[in-house]
Structure 1
Amino acid sequence: MRNFQQAGSSFKLYPKHVIDDLLREFSKNRSIRDVCADPKYPSVATVYRWLSEDRDFAAAYAEAVKVSVTT
């Protein structure tokens, strides 16, 4: 998984393993709403903000969703 702990990134608020787990859950064909219902993950609004504002996260999400479709 990508390293989202870069300076200036909003991901620095979350440990890398949480982001990796989040993306792994998306790769299991789980929806954003379903995954984000777990309090260890960021809110639905936060994930959608990351998707719209952070190209790296959006690419990682697209990759995770692609994996879910092919498995």
Structure 2
Amino acid sequence: MPEPAGPSPRRGAYSRRLADEICARLSNGQSLRAICTDPAMPHRATVLRWLHANPEFRSLYALAREAAADALAEEIVSIADRATGRDDVPAIKLRMEARMWVATRLRPTVERRAEPAPAITIAITPDDTDL
């Protein structure tokens, strides 16, 4: 039986083709855990090693996560728009809240400014007194 060409993606070296596929699937809202259950995809630990070792992949991955958050936000709106008075409101609310929770964790945190923003000064001039 012939040997397979190259290392198995389950424990292989970084592959831009696989990285692009992972990021595309993440962008569409699929979880990394779900992606990595696919035998054609690398093991989750392999992907995490790639993230640690490869700044280019880390950047692609971050963009994919942002796109996934956007996809979840669109899905939340769609769920709300499809709801009717006859629907199971607690179930709809649970579906929406679960997606909101995940979406907020996919978006990178905004760095807080180390120094306070400059104060706004308002000056009233003689021209303003007639207003």
- Identity, in percent, stands at 31
Specify the alignment match of 1:3 in structure 2.
none
TM-score, structure 1 length as denominator?
0.72
Specify the alignment match of 2:36 in structure 1.
36
Within 2, Cα distance between the matches of 1:52 and 1:44?
13
> Segments of 4+ in structure 1 off by > 6 A?
none
What is the count of residue pairs matched by the alignment?
Answer: 59
- Displacement of 1:69: 0.9
Query: Higher relative CO (CA 8 A, sep ≥ 6), structure 1 or 2?
Result: 1
3-state SS of 2:57 partner: helix
Specify the alignment match of 1:66 in structure 2.
66
RMSD (Å) for aligned C-alpha atoms: 1.5
1:56 and 2:42 correspond: no
String of CA shifts for 1:38-64, please: whole Å, max 9, x gaps: 011111000011111111111100000
Structure showing greater radius of gyration is 2
String of CA shifts for 1:9-44, please: whole Å, max 9, x gaps: x42xx462x332211111122221110000111110
Q: How has the CA–CA distance of structure 1 residues 64 and 15 changed in structure 2, closer, same or farther, with 3 Å as cutoff?
A: closer
Within 1, Cα distance between the matches of 2:24 and 2:39?
16
Q: How has the CA–CA distance of structure 1 residues 44 and 38 changed in structure 2, closer, same or farther, with 3 Å as cutoff?
A: same
Which structure carries more helix by proportion? Answer: 1
TM-score, structure 2 length as denominator?
0.41
User: Which consecutive residues of structure 1, in runs of 5 or more, have no partner in the other structure?
Assistant: 1-9
